[in-house]
Amino acid sequence: MKDRFIELWKRLNAKGSAEQEFARLNSMYSRPNRFYHNLKHIQNCLEELDCVQHLVIQPNIVELALWYHDAIYDTQAKDNEQQSAQFAYGICLAAQLPETFANRTRYLILTTKHNSLPNSNEARTLVDIDLSILGRSKEEFDEYEANIRREYDWVPEEQFRQGRSKILKAFTDRESIYFTDFFKKKYEAHAQVNLKRSIEALS
């Protein structure tokens, strides 16, 4: 993971120490109570990106956004995406990357709120990558759901069930969970099965 981040930093011609920046990210993603939103999640996202590199116009900006999209994560806060987006924006400017690049990175991270339609190839790809876990095997999906519950262990059971069910239903109520043809073909059918099964278990 460290080597990959350093390679991206070099490709972007970003200023400052890539090693120090990775160490900071590693520390943020390794904090207690990050049972799902940790570096393993980022690694899985990057592996999904590798499968669609050829389909993305600007893969470097998608990769940077993936690295930072869950950098700030507090289950008792409601603005994690905004905070992560602003944090990444500041990192881009400190690394002397163009402001247009910094703004685009911030926008891409904000799309991981999954509350609006992504408006570009990069955004559609990024949100599909972030949701790829929904279409993974039953075992992987169930582990994901269990880890989300562990991250919200402070929430009473009934309240969690209601809230989680509402979130999952929002995805099944859409015309499709995924926006890109690649991820629709790869994960849509299995994601629908996983989500419906989880919603039933929560009810």
The pTM for the full model equals: 0.96
Sign of the dihedral through C-alpha 33, 35, 36, 41: positive
* 135 closest CA partner among 199, 46, 195: 195
Phi, psi at 71, each rounded to 5°: -55, -40
DSSP 175: S
The predicted pLDDT at position 91 comes to 98
Phi, psi at 129, each rounded to 5°: -60, -45
Phi-psi region of 77 (alpha: psi -120 to 50; beta: other; left: phi over 0): beta
Lookup: tokens for 176: 């499709």
User: H or E element: which one contains 172?
Assistant: helix 157-172
Q: Tell me the three state secondary structure of residue 190.
A: helix
| Residues 92 and 71: beta-carbon distance below 8 Å | no
| Residues 117 and 34: beta-carbon distance below 8 Å | no
Which residues lie below 8 Å from residue 88, measured CB to CB, with a gap of 6+? 64, 65, 68, 69, 71, 102, 105, 106, 109
Phi-psi region of 96 (alpha: psi -120 to 50; beta: other; left: phi over 0): left
Q: Count of alpha carbons within 13 Å of 103, Cβ hemisphere only? A: 3
Mean pLDDT by 10 residues, the chain (203 residues): 98 98 98 97 98 94 98 96 98 98 98 92 97 98 98 98 97 96 98 98 94
Cα(40)–Cα(88) distance, integer angstroms: 19
DSSP 1: -
